[in-house]
Structure 1
Amino acid sequence: MRRFFSTTALGGISAGIALTAFGGFAHAQETVDDGVVGEIVVTAQKRSQNVQDVPMAVQVIGGDQLEAAAVREFTDLTKVAPSLIVRPADNPVNASVSIRGVGTFAFGVGVEPSVAVVVDDVPIAFQARAFADLADVERIEVLRGPQSTLYGKSASAGLINIVTPGPTRELTGKVSALATTDSEVGLGASISGPITDTLRFRSSNSYTSFEGNIDNLYNGEKVNGRETFATRNKLVWDPTDKFSATLAVDYLKGDTTAGRPFIALSPDARLRGNAAWTPAVFAPGVTVGSNNSSVVNNVTTGSDYEDFAQSLKLTYDLGFATLISVTANDRYKMLDAFDQDESALSVNNYANGLFSADQFSQEIRLVSNGSNRLRYTLGAFHADVNYRRYFFRGPAFSQANWDATSGSNENSVFGQLEYDVVEGTTLIGGLRLGREKIGYTFRDLRAGPAAAWADGASDDYATYRVGVQHKLADDVMVFATWATGHKGQSYDLTTGFNQARADLGPVRPESSEDIQVGVRSRFLDRRVTLNATVFNTEYEDFQAQGAELLPDGTQNFRLTNVGAIRTRGIEVESTARLVDGLTLSGSVAYLDAEITQFAGAQCWPGQTAAQGCTGSPARQNLAGERPPQAPKWKLSAGAEYVRPLVGDLEGVANVAANYQSSVNYSLSQDPLTVQKGYAVVNLSVGVRDKARGYQVTAFVNNLFDEGYYTNLVNNYGAYGNQLAVQAFLPRDFKRYGGIRASMTF
């Protein structure tokens, strides 16, 4: 890790952000007239609203801001959303999303996330579908805190709402291209317009290819790359001014490669404890250190995935309200492989598997027209989700061979009422009642036909939201809300599943309770927007996955209930346009997070009794410790300057910066999996015509070449109980530049 900001620098950044109050990349769907920042329209409450009127903590990131901050795939959202962390893994199935320090990192089949993802009104049961391409996105809304009342049981910590553009009434099109100094190529094309007077279409297609930024010394190839093709297609039929039907068909196909370079390795390390397998043997040619970007793998680690999704949205204007139906179907499948010994040794231990997810969902809701003192959203939701996972590991050691399925069936009803008791003051009340049935099968193929299990369980749940909002002035609104969240129970279907685990039944549901107080304001003739939220959230039976060390040195992952977690803090977001042509933005999030109860936690690899690892089997007490993926500070800041040049041309300059304080990637508090604080700055300069018919931009990402890691793994046990730390390198681990160009007609 190179040139991290000092504590003094952090203080300066924090003070500067707080004093100038420039926070939040909130430019989606906004208009600017004579320096005045206009409305930002969001659908955070399942109705179109000005974001300044929404009584919840929501950050809005528009398409232009995603481009300026080099956000091209889901994991990049960490750069622009201070309360959000996306933690990658060897393949997208095992990645995780956290909001305010709370998320789910689990290998188990069918384990729900704590942060829900919705794409164009369709909930995505399996997050990996969203982890690929973010081309042709209109805006992304990050909703912090429990959202279970309106969005269901997979939103106990928050929600990410992705909105893509709809068909236009006039023929339009756009082509774009990107090329970088490290061999990334991106191409995109979209076309939209009318087919008849009542039928419109939009087709958006993109292709990206990146070889990777890690050298595999075994064959001279690059890894840690990706190749993705995505197509999104919409048809909108509106035969009358009251009825509309939107058919969406999306297809995604891609592959990834991965590698985990050693950044710390003892010279006494021996792979699997074998005296002959020294570092010179299992990692020949690798120079271990914080800048290492080389591996030696004779089995390609990565994944091949494919997704096919369809949805049909019907809306009918009843006058007093709008009736909406959303029907969706999605099928995701993936093949994955991993070099288990991560070397070129002839032992050639590897892992591979097959994963598939099938989802059907149906939602019906009635949304009032919003013209009366009483406004409401009432609905019902049904979902069937089925997963299958086949996994093999071996043949030399850490052997596993199993096949598992997991399924859930959910039915729920929900509603939210808003009532203006007096002018400017609104009371809010919401409730969701749901019932879920889950079931599983598990076959241990190594142990024979008798090693097979199957079972099921059901769970009834209720979540609610109450609150009040009051307008102090036309452009100043304050609110207070109290909300609960729920995440469904799950079976721990991973390697090592046996009769003892089967007898334990499912891991208990996770619940959350959240209090938020906030202010939404605009001043200086609406040239400045300033929003702030204070929150306190408590989680009971938080579901988390920890690692335990088996006698053969293998790390085994177990899903368990952490007794309780508490998170609290403050988030500030603002946008300012004080002079013509210059827009400033940024945000800051302070998070105080603590595990308040977890007495039987796994120890970290190599932890001693003196360090708190005691008993048989050895365990530690994590009460008072900080949960993983929960940095104390996260900040984002940006500036855009537009200046007329000659004729219809104008120059555009963008700078985007983000800072994150130190974070531990392990629940066990492993001191070797701590990422120190770091800051990354991106810079771009371009030229475009005033109508934005075309634009050419040169950019540099990670301008100051600030190295950091998005995940760290301590493999102490696999290397003879010696120091062995491996890292996941982000796309911008090293500085790179490029050019992007687009043409719109």
Structure 2
Amino acid sequence: MIRFSQKHKLMAVLAATTYLFALPVVVRAQAADQSTGQSAGRADGGLGEIVVTAQRRQQNVQDVPIAITAVTGEALRDSGVRDPRDLTLLVPSLSMQAGTAASTTSLFIRGVGIGDFNSNTTGAVGVYVDDVFLGANAGKLFNVFDSEGIEVLKGPQGTLYGRNTTAGAIRFSSRKPTDTLSGDVSALYGRFNEVRIEGGVGGPIAGDVLTARISGLYHRNDGTTFNRVTGHRVNNINLWAGRGILDFKPDADTLVRLTVHGGANNGGARQFQHRGQGVDFFGDPAFLPDGTPTDGFGYADTDGDPYAGDYDVEGKERIRVFGASLLGQFTFGGVQLTSITAYEQVNRATLEDTDASPNQVITAYYEDRPRQFSQELRLQSVGENTFNWIVGGFYFHDNLKTDSAFDLLRGLRDPSAPLEGFDPANSLGLLRYPYTQKTDSYAVFGQGDYKLTDRLTATLGLRYSHDRIGMKFASLFDALGTVNPRKAFSDVVVPLIDFNESKGFNDLSWRAALNYKVDNALIYASFSKGYNSGGFAGGASTDAAQLTPFGSERLYAYEVGFKTDLFDRHLRFNASGFYYDYRDLQVFIFDLSGPVPVQRKLNAGNARIYGLEAEITAVPVRNLELFTAFTLMDSKYKTFTALGGASLAGNRLVNAPEFAGAAGIRLTVPMANGSEVRAKVDGTYTSSFFLYPDNLEANKVKGYGLLNARVGWAAPGGRYEIALWGKNLTKTEYITGIFPIITQDQLNYNEPRTYGIELSAHF
């Protein structure tokens, strides 16, 4: 049963009030519009169309029978979206869980996802850039620039997409070359000496046959967190990215597109907050006189400031990315053939102060080098026909090499003792776990839409997937080694695991749907099945049993919804209801039975999720736009036996708030000289949720709200703009990740309040 707190009720009332208030005002606006012929957003008044390619062809988003949120590039900029993690500001049903590094984040849609930050995790949410699937977590930070917009597809995706996912998909589209010279540039300065410069320019090279666009991004700040040990600022950003696109169009039926991109991050690794567990290394109580729990060394961070800490190691993260893709699109005889060949590589090295304290409890070094190749072929009908169809095949190969280590309890080792007090039995030493994982995924898929009548259309899609994953894993204690695995192993090594195994996974998934068009409304119902391949855990392991492969998860999704434009498209109201039958879902947990918490990934059993979501956008009067969106959700594990044998059935799923909502207002004030003053205020609220299946109070994130604003002046025609902006203006603090380590917890917090100025130009 969904229970509403006062804040829940407030957001629901706000959404309903916005909708009810908009109706009579829209009627008046429509009547006035008939005499003036002018309005906001569209020449004849009302909301303009948003064109998406969610079904592999260009369509008005209101004609797509899928729960989808589409956001334009302008809206991404105005909302301060910097990377995929910021999309939670715009899509209430999308949430994230921050990992143990600046680059590792787990995404959830409608409570479906997995909080595994390790390098070999694909995740339940597929991320695509220009239809290229990105497998590596670290490579997803470099693509939200020079953007045309994004599409967030909710629910299982497989019958139209290369990589099958259970939660949904996020598709980023970059700006493409144009037949005339055009460009965009923006420069931002903000708190913590933040500088973000982004730009792109494109145009013809040889008429309309050969066109190109190049774009780039530079982003840095001094850091949002203060290190009391050194007096330095940490959690800093320092990255750049670039992209080049070359289009060859010899005729109207042929497009060959070459895309090359790259980037580098030289910023700081994530610095966390420390929370003592109140026990020492022998399991005895450990508290300060005022009752504050400490860790095994008696340390506690007591200042209550989540943006300051005592760090003996200031972490660094080095990431290098490179990728290239070749798109071929050929139209002939009423059909279109599309080929997408892509290669992506990432080199990541992260040195991390895992214990977030001045003591030597755990220092981590993560190194991974994924190399992925993908090939997708699609053949589909062209235009709007009685029967529209698409068939395709997809191949994905990933070769991931890692070489990571934990320096455990060095503060307890005696440098004067033999081997410096090396003692694997009590976890005193350097634990290394290099491994190589190879993934080969094959799939064939197809979907057909048949118009039973002029208004009623039936859809059927099928997909067969085969995945084979091979894991070669080693684990060992190194007595005298350093935390950097690039250096040679010492002569004193205690091997723990030598593991080499592969396993195959197969699945047949589908989508069946009906949609009915009436006037300005679309009503749809669907039943689909999603699949996420099984595999092997990628965290540090000390026992081969911890590497036992976990099975595939499957999600059966039932959904009904409608999309409608009312009052001459002055009001857009989309809503959907869903029920998920979630089977063998994959969960990420920590095994706390030994002296060192061990990361485990396993199948939990079954769960169910049901909910309701809606998006409402209104233009009640000229130059005023109102927006609200919310998701109501109820989730629970139906069967789940924890490692210790306790039943977790009835607990809520992780990252599954009962309520999440967003609301905003955008006002444009025309000036006499043709310029405009533009103002936007938006906010979000998320109710409490849990980060682990045990639903312990210590792992609960309390409900929180965020408030953002932007006000600017735009020159006539919008060619230039200067704007003041602010994010998290209420200085809200909330936890985005909790990870238990030896006698303490590692806490990840959101970004603090930021504000600044931005200049932009378009030509």
Match of 1:484 in 2: 529
- Aligned residue among 640, 654, 658 for 2:666: 640
Q: What is the CA-CA distance between 1:480 and the residue it aligns to? A: 0.4
Taking the TM superposition and a 5 Å limit, the aligned residue runs for 1:151-550 are 151-197=161-207, 198-254=209-265, 255-262=267-274, 265=276, 270=280, 286-289=301-304, 291-345=305-359, 347=360, 349-394=362-407, 396=410, 397=428, 399-446=430-477, 451-473=497-519, 475-501=520-546, 504=548, 506-550=549-593
Pair 1:377–1:276, CA change in 2 (3 A): closer
Matched position secondary structure for 2:192: coil
CA gap 1:173/1:282 in 2 versus in 1, 3 angstroms: farther
Bigger Cα displacement from structure 2, 13-22 vs 667-676:
13-22
Residue identity opposite 2:750 in structure 1: P
SS in 1 for 2:268: strand
Picking from 731, 735, 745, the partner of 1:705 is 731
Distance 2:447 2:12 in 1: 37
Aligned residues: 702
Alpha-carbon distance in 1 for matches of 2:739, 2:295: 21
User: What residue ranges of structure 2 are gaps of 5+ in the alignment?
Assistant: 22-39, 289-293, 411-427, 478-492
Counterpart in the other structure of 1:671: 697
Deviation, 1:705, is 2.2
Relative distance call for 1:656 and 1:740 in structure 2 (3 A) is: same
Pairwise CA distance, 1:7:
3.1
- Distance, in Å, in 1 between the alignment partners of 2:757 and 2:453 is 54
Residues 139-187 of structure 1 deviation map (CA, whole Å, 9 limit, x = unaligned): 1111111112222554111111111110111111222111113321111
**2:459, 2:514 within 8 Å by CA — same for their partners in 1?**
yes
Q: For residue 274 of structure 1, report the CA deviation from its aligned partner.
A: 9.8
Given that 2:245 and 2:257 are in contact with CA atoms closer than 8 Å, whether structure 1 keeps it comes out as yes
| Equivalent residue in structure 1 for 2:133, among 101, 123, 132 | 123
Distance 2:131 2:335 in 1: 18
- How far did residue 444 of structure 1 move? 2.0
Contact 1:109 1:405 in 2 (8 A): no
Query: Secondary structure of 1:138's partner?
Result: strand
User: Which stretch of the first structure deviates more once superposed, 280-289 or 410-419?
Assistant: 280-289
Q: Deviations over 1:646-700 (max 9, x none)?
A: 3121100011111101111222212112111111111111000231111000112
- Single out whichever of 40-49 and 391-400 deviates more from structure 2: 391-400
Q: CA deviation at 1:574?
A: 1.8
Q: TM-score, normalised by structure 1?
A: 0.90
CA root-mean-square deviation: 2.4
Match of 1:611 in 2: none
What is the aligned counterpart of 1:567 among 606, 609, 615?
609
| Equivalent position amino acid for 1:260 in 2 | F
Structure 1 residues 31 and 359, CA, compared in 2 at 3 Å: closer, same or farther? farther
In 1, the alpha carbon distance for the partners of 2:206 and 2:20 equals 46
Q: Which amino acid aligns with 1:380?
A: G
Deviations 1:441-482 (A, max 9, x none): 012243656842211122221111011001122x11100010
Change (3 A) 1:398 1:577: farther
Deviation (angstroms), 1:241: 1.2
TM-score (norm. length: structure 2): 0.88
Is the CA contact (8 Å cut-off) linking 1:112 and 1:154 kept in structure 2?
A: no
Residues 176-185 or 679-688, more deviating: 176-185
Task: State whether residues 700 and 738 of structure 1, in contact with CA within 8 Å, keep that contact through their aligned partners in structure 2.
Answer: yes
Deviates more, 1:34-43 or 1:52-61: 34-43
Q: Given residue 545 of structure 2, which amino acid in structure 1 is its aligned partner? A: A
Shift of 1:124: 1.1
Q: Is the 8 A contact 1:109 1:388 kept in 2?
A: no
Which contiguous aligned blocks of 4+ residues in structure 1 show a shift greater than 4 angstroms? 268-286, 447-450
Partners of 1:22 and 1:585 within 8 A in 2: no
CA distance in 2, matches of 1:539, 1:630: 14
Select which of 596, 605, 630 maps to 2:638.
596
Partner of 2:113: 103
| Residues 658 and 107 of structure 1: CA distance in aligned 2, closer, same or farther (over 3 Å) | closer
1:563-597 deviation per Cα after TM superposition (whole angstroms, max 9, x unaligned): 01211101101211121111111211111111111
Q: Distance in 2 between matches of 1:108 and 1:343?
A: 23
Report % sequence identity.
28
- The equivalent residue for 1:557 is 599
Give matches, 1:24-63, under 5 Å. 32-63=42-73
Q: Secondary structure at the match of 1:32?
A: coil
CA positional deviation for 1:729 = 2.0
CA, structure 1 residues 707+316, in 2 after alignment: closer, same or farther (shift >3 Å)? Answer: same
Aligned amino acid, residue 179 of structure 1: Y
Taking the aligned partners of 1:674 and 1:225, their CA distance within structure 2 comes to: 27
Taking structure 1 as reference, are residues 52 and 280 closer, same or farther at Cα in structure 2, changes over 3 Å only?
closer
In structure 1, runs of 5+ residues without a counterpart are 1-5, 24-29, 603-617
Distance (Å, rounded) in 2 between the aligned partners of 1:12 and 1:531: 21
* Residue from 654, 673, 694 that aligns with 2:720: 694
Q: Is the 8 A contact 1:384 1:407 kept in 2?
A: yes
Paired with 1:280 and 1:164, the residues of 2 have a C-alpha distance of: 47
Q: Distance in 1 between matches of 2:182 and 2:253?
A: 25
| Structure ranking higher on relative contact order (CA contacts 8 Å, 6+ apart) | 1
Deviation at 1:46, TM superposition (A): 1.5
CA contact (8 A) 2:269 2:351 kept: no
Distance in 2 (alpha carbons) for counterparts of 1:687 and 1:518: 39
Structure 1 residues 285 and 399: alpha-carbon distance in aligned structure 2, compared to 1, 3 A threshold: closer
How far apart are 1:109 and its partner, in Å?
Answer: 4.8
| TM-aligned CA deviation for residue 209 of structure 1 | 0.5
Deviations 1:513-561 (A, max 9, x none): 0011000101101111110000001111111111121432x22110000
Q: Please say if 1:661 is aligned against 2:687.
A: yes
Q: Quote the Cα distance in structure 2 between the aligned partners of 1:419 and 1:743.
A: 45
Q: Give CA-to-partner distance per residue, 1:217-254, whole Å, 9 cap, x none.
A: 11111122221101111000101111111100010211
Cα pair distance change 1:657/1:107, threshold 3 Å: closer
Post-superposition shift, 1:285? 9.7
Cα deviation, residue 120, structure 1: 0.2
Write out per-residue CA displacement over residues 352-373 of structure 1, whole angstroms, 9 at most, x where no aligned residue: 1210111101111012113320
